[in-house]
A and B are shown apart, each in its own frame.
Chain A
């Protein structure tokens, strides 16, 4: 267990019969962190979260929260609270009764209880809603009530399972900002499950990208985008172009490669290890290319034909066909010049150029 980690998931696996829903996952989460679990449907996000909450117990491995092993602690005795995907608002109780539900065991006077509930109503900006029947709330209001009901317990960790999944796009974006601001102000560790990469990128301090019960990479949003460690992560987060290459020499913090139609290239290896004569993938994001009609004077460049172009206002997207490369190369260019419509003038032959550090070298797998 790391010293500064607040939640420590140690080699945890969860099997449902033959299904390995979570497979040997180790994650350390720091106090006060906004940590997201991101991955496609069925990759085990909910299962991992439910193990933190105490609704499922690991088949193997151990979970520590604030230094305490959780294997023999039931859900109702853990210092965590959860916001359910369905919100699980109690329909037979009013808004206040829902929010105050968890206070029964705290032996508070009626006045103290009311004070705490009012405090929460204010936090979620639903003052005056206390006496409403919870069945009369809108989706966004239900989401807030679920949040308040969990936060009133002052948990050390708040678990959120796709809490914004049921909201429409506009409300969702607003709630993303509110949730993030709230997390900063209460200072509670958040573990947030989502399958929406944009949501994870905008909200999280760190993200664990999961696939088929395992995690592929745990990193900051920036690092996941700019320095993915494998093909799946690069592919899952944003758009990316892959090119096949073969290493020629590895020395002095540089990997030199023969990239076929792209010519001889050299780039820093990042955190991965490479040997000579190895088949690798070069990953380049669309916005790392520059597009021009004239051949650039120097640097990495390649000629191609524009296949399709889309004007998006602030930027334009191109697909450029390059001889010897199977898939058209995705390129995104900022529209810096008001009077110059690149989608019109760039029909036909163009040059793509890029810097050495635009390239991420990945193992071929």
Chain B
């Protein structure tokens, strides 16, 4: 049984409250109409399936019902971190011991600023 930390509820809860939703960080093609069959097929059907560190989307189905990301080892099943949608992972295949917290925090601040900018763009 996993104990999963929900970054929105800020609590560890039992696996039963959550559903796994597949690979995280999949970007929808910006212009789907312009995709080749190859690009569109890759986007729809091809997923990372590593032995080792994997970034995945989970939903706190019977909790706050929010989606968030988890970094988990698919062999040992160890959960290395949970982080909000829009944020970047600390633990990656290249950095299994974790990148410095400050680097990740700085990235996330920039990412947030970009999102706000895009949303304001939409309003205008």
A, B: real partners: no
